Amino acid sequence: MKALISVSDKTGIVDFAKELENKGIEIISTGGTYKVLKESGVSAIEISELTEFPECLDGRVKTLHPKVHAGILAIRENPNHMKQLKDLNIDTIDFVVVNLYPFKQTILKDNVALEEAVENIDIGGPTMLRSAAKNYQDVAVITDPNDYAKVLSELSEDGKVSRETKFYLMQKVFEHTSSYDTLISKYIKAQRKDDSLPNELTLTYEKVQDMRYGENPHQIAALYKEIGKCEGSLVSATQLNGKELSFNNINDTNGALELLKEFDEPTVVACKHGNPCGVGSDINIYEAWKKAYESDKVSIFGGIVVVNREITLKMAEEMKEIFLEVIVAPSYEAEALESLKTKKNLRILELPSITIKQPENAYDIKKINGGVILQTIDSKLLDEYEVVTNTKPTEKELEDLLFTWKIVKYVKSNGIALGKNKQSIGIGPGQVNRIWAAKQSIEHAQELISDTATDGAVLASDAFFPFSDCVEVAHAAGIKAIIQPGGSIKDQDSIDKCNEYGISMIFTKMRHFKH
Catalytic amino acids? Answer: 134, 273
Report residue 85 CA to chain centroid gap.
49
CA distances from 144 to 15, 51, 171 (A): 14, 26, 12
Nearest 5°: phi and psi at 394? -70, 170
Peptide bond into 499 cis (omega under 30): no
Residues in the chain: 515
Q: Which DSSP category does 24 fall into?
A: T
CA 339, CA 344: separation in Å to the nearest integer? 11
Least Cα distance to 96 among 49, 54, 52, 151 occurs for 151
Alpha carbons 33 and 45: distance in angstroms, whole number: 11
> Strand pairing partners for 326?
304, 347
Going by C-beta distance under 8 Å and a sequence separation of 6 or more, which residues neighbour residue 193? none
DSSP characters for 40-54?
Answer: TT---EEHHHHHTS-
What Cα–Cα distance (Å) separates residue 393 from each residue in 397, 400, 465, 479?
Answer: 6, 10, 19, 12
The DSSP secondary-structure symbol of 302 reads T
Nearest partner of 74 among 62, 64, 86, judged by Cα: 86
Would the CA dihedral through 401, 404, 406, 410 be positive or negative? negative
d(CA 262, CA 402): 11
Q: Are 399 and 423 in contact (CB under 8 A)?
A: no
Rg from Cα positions in the chain: 30
Residues 184 and 103: beta-carbon distance below 8 Å: yes
Classify residue 100 as left (phi > 0), alpha (psi -120 to 50) or beta.
Answer: beta
For 18-45, the DSSP string reads: HHHHHTTPEEEE-HHHHHHHHHTT---E
**C-alpha–C-alpha distance, residues 297 and 320, integer Å:** 14
Helices (H), 278-426: 285-295, 313-319, 334-340, 395-408
